[in-house]
């Protein structure tokens, strides 16, 4: 669960327009995909059509999108197509890469060095694009509460490190960079509070992916969480 890292006006609007994803009314993306970009995550799979690249016409391409800071501080648009092969980062061993690709493990934590400074990252494998995903764990903003239950310091650190976090009501959550909502759970919907600009905001997450290699969700519980969300907003 992350909150917004960027403002909409900071997005690379010209690049988005070249992909045919904006018009005079604004950016033409589903709200969940737009929020994923603003939160520094990947969108879901998007069909891009009639692309022109270096004189080559691409009739259609299915890909995910993300943004990342460029050297000049602006945001640049990244396209993540579906790869035939999955080259893995040099800091993963063959065994680690195979475990992620086979689905033997959901993620692997690593400490690497960037500009001579240590950086804690989380490596996952996106089966939709056949690609390894790297997340800077410092950019994962942790929820204060989930379903009205405060997270302890230990639970927040486990969440930041990509581990499963179980709450007192048996709700379990886990960060993921492969999904546009940024979280997996054993519940179909969650109500979370996050700190935004010194204030508390409540967010409803619906249609969540199930936990890694575990069964899914209870739809009746999801309806109850949506009811709770409405009550909290009314306060």
Q: Per residue in 172-194, pLDDT tens?
A: 999 999 988 889 999 888 888 88
| CA-closest candidate to residue 45, choices 130, 105, 123, 122 | 130
Q: Which residues contact 139 (CB under 8 A, 6 or more apart)?
A: 2, 5, 40
Q: State residue 119 phi and psi, 5-degree precision.
A: -140, 120
**Mean pLDDT, residues 207-231 taken together:** 59
SS3 85: coil
pTM recorded for the entire structure:
0.73
In terms of phi and psi (left: phi > 0; alpha: psi -120 to 50; beta: otherwise), the region of 221 is: alpha
What confidence score (pLDDT) does residue 3 get?
62
Give the percent of the chain with pLDDT over 70.
87
What three-state secondary structure class fits 10?
A: helix
Q: What pLDDT is stored for residue 233 in this prediction? A: 47
pLDDT at 2: 47
Residue 175 near residue 182 (C-beta atoms within 8 A): yes
Q: Which among 140, 98, 126, 130 has a CA at the least distance from the CA of 209? A: 126
Q: What is the pLDDT of residue 111?
A: 95
């Amino acid at each position: 669960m992350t909150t917004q890292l960027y403002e909409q006006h900071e997005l690379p609007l010209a690049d988005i327009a070249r992909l045919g994803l904006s018009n005079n009314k604004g950016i033409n993306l589903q709200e969940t995909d737009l929020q994923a970009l603003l939160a520094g995550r990947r969108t879901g799979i998007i069909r891009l059509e009639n692309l022109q690249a270096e004189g080559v016409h691409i009739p259609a391409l299915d890909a995910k999108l993300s943004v990342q800071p460029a050297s000049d501080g602006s945001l640049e648009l990244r396209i993540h197509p579906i790869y035939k092969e999955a080259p893995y980062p040099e800091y993963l061993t063959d065994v680690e890469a195979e475990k992620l690709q086979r689905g033997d493990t959901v993620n692997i934590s690593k400490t690497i060095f960037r500009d001579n400074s240590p950086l804690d990252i989380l490596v996952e494998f996106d089966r939709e694009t056949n690609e390894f995903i790297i997340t800077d764990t410092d950019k994962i903003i942790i929820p204060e509460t989930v379903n009205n239950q405060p997270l302890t310091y230990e639970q927040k650190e486990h969440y930041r490190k990509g581990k499963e976090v179980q709450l007192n009501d048996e709700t379990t959550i886990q960060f993921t960079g492969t999904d546009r909502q940024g979280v997996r759970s054993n519940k179909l919907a969650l109500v979370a509070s996050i700190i935004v600009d010194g204030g508390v905001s409540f967010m409803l997450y619906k249609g969540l992916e199930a936990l890694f290699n575990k069964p899914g969700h209870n739809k009746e519980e999801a309806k109850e969480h949506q009811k709770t969300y409405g009550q909290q907003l009314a306060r």
